[in-house]
Structure 1
Amino acid sequence: MWHEVYGRSNPGVPTVLLSSGLGGSALYWAANIPALAKYFRVIAYDQTGTGRSPATLPPDYAVADMAAEAAGLLDQLAIDKAHVIGHALGGLIGLQMAADRPALVDRLVLVNAWAKTHPHTLRCFNVRKNLLVNSGVAAYVQAQPLFLYPAAWLAERQAWLADQDAAAITHFPPTETVLRRIQAVEAFDLTQAIAGITAPAMVVAARDDVLVPCTCSITLADQLSDVRLELLDQGGHACNITDPDRFDAMVGDFLRPTLPT
């Protein structure tokens, strides 16, 4: 699995694993890595079947498999404990890791994540699947930002958006891979195991997220035993990209107490 390591490497410095959403690419975190790398060892990776980690996924591929792959990457790097910052699907991966390998997860940052996939999110995924299967990759890619970013923010970045669309089309995974990853997200339901997760967590949600209702994060926070809930009025589904300074400050405040003195 392709990965890069940034930031500090001195002994005792905590590791932060960055896990992206459905797109799966480490590039998703480009705006946040510099701030994190000032204090932590930061690992960003391309999830199996995406970006620079091409693979054929089995028909029954699940979020539990993604979590096992992320844990396996930490094992490969001889890291016995890490903070996990996950966006959407990446948050599900973090939750699953905390349930399956509790000793491996120090703290969780869960960005617009959930314990069970919401009917509204399922409807959005159905729209995206129909676009991909019936209209093709370009239509799927062009629609994707509508689910990620607030309209006003997006309207001001047309050149950037065109570059993003072109890159996404060029590096788009096989259609079957994308469909199997969506299927894994649709089937996710960790509600029975949430109460057993003991890792301290910060749950971050944007009220204007049009893909995942912020009530999913509120419910998730209610189910976790050691949690801090941050509700943002604006920012959209990809709030760590639309307002990186605010996001980095919140995450830093949550994680920096774990730094060695």
Structure 2
Amino acid sequence: MHFELHGRTDPAARTLLLSSGLGGSGTYWAEQIPALAGDFRIVTYDHRGTGRTGGEVPETGGIAAMADDVLDLLDRLEIDQVDFVGHALGGLIGLDLALRQPGRVGRLVLINAWSKADPHSGRCFDIRIELLEKSGVPAFVKAQPLFLYPAAWMAEHADRIAADEAHGIAHFQGKTNVLRRIAALRAFDVDARLSDIPHETLVIATKDDLLVPWTRSQRLADGLPNAALDLVDHGGHAVNVVDPGLFNLRLQRFLTGSNYTKVNAS
């Protein structure tokens, strides 16, 4: 597993692990690392089958196998417990860890995640799979920003979108890996077990997320016994990229404070 360490190095520092979504790359958190490095030792990593980790996603095992990879990484680094921040698929990994290895997780942050996939998300994944299988990798990668970002933000960042598209095509994780990762997140269902997760949890969701309806986050906040929902109007699926300043402030206040106070989105 490719990983990187950032931020504090002293033994007293809390460790924060950042886990990305379907893309799987640790570089997804580039906007968060500088804001958090003064308070935490930060671990980022590339999921199995993606980025600099590479390899093949297991045919079976689903999200649990991805969580096992995290446990192996923590053992390798001799880290007993982390505050876990997960975006979408990464959030599912955090939920699985909290259920199976609760002592390894401190605070939990779930960003546009879910306890059970919504049929609307299933429709979006069906479209993306069809693009991949019938139109090929360039079409699949070109469509990806539509599910991640608000239209106005994409229009204002056309050069970045084009650069990300070129990089995504050149470093595509492979059709088999993508299909297995999508199958894993679609099969994930811990909806009936949310009450078994006692961890202090921040659920962040955006109303304009095209891929995951914000009501999935509302369900997480309702079902988890110690959760706060921070629902914002704008930011799309990748809200931490679209509005990193406000997102980082939310994250810092939750992770560094004993009580969470929502940040005014206006």
TM-score w.r.t. the length of structure 1 is 0.97
Q: Where does residue 232 of structure 1 map in the other structure?
A: 232
Q: Where does residue 152 of structure 1 map in the other structure?
A: 152
Q: Where does residue 130 of structure 1 map in the other structure?
A: 130
Identity across the alignment (%): 50
* Alignment-mate amino acid for residue 128 of structure 1: R
Give structure 1 regions of 4+ aligned residues with deviation exceeding 3 angstroms.
Answer: none
* Alignment-mate amino acid for residue 186 of structure 1: R
Q: Where does residue 164 of structure 2 map in the other structure?
A: 164
SS in 1 for 2:257: helix
Contact 1:109 1:201 in 2 (8 A): yes
- CA distance in 1 between counterparts of 2:58 and 2:89 reads 18
- CA distance in 2 between counterparts of 1:189 and 1:49 reads 22
Q: Where does residue 210 of structure 1 map in the other structure?
A: 210
- CA distance in 2 between counterparts of 1:58 and 1:43 reads 23
- CA distance in 2 between counterparts of 1:221 and 1:234 reads 19
* Alignment-mate amino acid for residue 212 of structure 1: V
Contact 1:61 1:180 in 2 (8 A): no
Q: How does 1:12-161 map to 2 (within 5 A)?
A: 12-161=12-161
Task: Give 1:71 shift.
Answer: 1.6
Q: What is the RMSD computed on CA atoms of the aligned residues?
A: 0.8
Task: Give 1:192 shift.
Answer: 2.5
* Alignment-mate amino acid for residue 137 of structure 1: V
* Contiguous gaps of at least 5 residues in structure 1: none
- CA distance in 1 between counterparts of 2:90 and 2:36 reads 17
Contact 1:204 1:230 in 2 (8 A): yes
Task: Give 1:48 shift.
Answer: 0.4
Contact 1:92 1:114 in 2 (8 A): yes
Q: Where does residue 251 of structure 1 map in the other structure?
A: 251
SS in 1 for 2:169: helix
Task: Give 1:83 shift.
Answer: 0.4
- CA distance in 2 between counterparts of 1:56 and 1:157 reads 32
- CA distance in 1 between counterparts of 2:242 and 2:108 reads 21
Q: Where does residue 263 of structure 2 map in the other structure?
A: none
* Contiguous gaps of at least 5 residues in structure 2: 259-266
Contact 1:88 1:111 in 2 (8 A): yes
- CA distance in 1 between counterparts of 2:55 and 2:192 reads 30
- CA distance in 2 between counterparts of 1:10 and 1:27 reads 24
| Cα offsets for 1:71-98 (capped at 9, x unmatched) | 2111111110100000000000111110
Contact 1:61 1:181 in 2 (8 A): no
| Cα offsets for 1:32-54 (capped at 9, x unmatched) | 11101111000000000000111
Q: Where does residue 183 of structure 1 map in the other structure?
A: 183
| Cα offsets for 1:163-222 (capped at 9, x unmatched) | 000001000012111100111011010112211111100000000000000000001110
- CA distance in 2 between counterparts of 1:220 and 1:34 reads 29
- CA distance in 1 between counterparts of 2:238 and 2:26 reads 14
- CA distance in 2 between counterparts of 1:58 and 1:206 reads 31
SS in 2 for 1:78: coil
Task: Give 1:11 shift.
Answer: 1.5
- CA distance in 1 between counterparts of 2:57 and 2:201 reads 30
Q: Where does residue 242 of structure 1 map in the other structure?
A: 242
- CA distance in 2 between counterparts of 1:74 and 1:179 reads 27
- CA distance in 2 between counterparts of 1:134 and 1:186 reads 21
SS in 2 for 1:52: coil
* Alignment-mate amino acid for residue 221 of structure 1: A
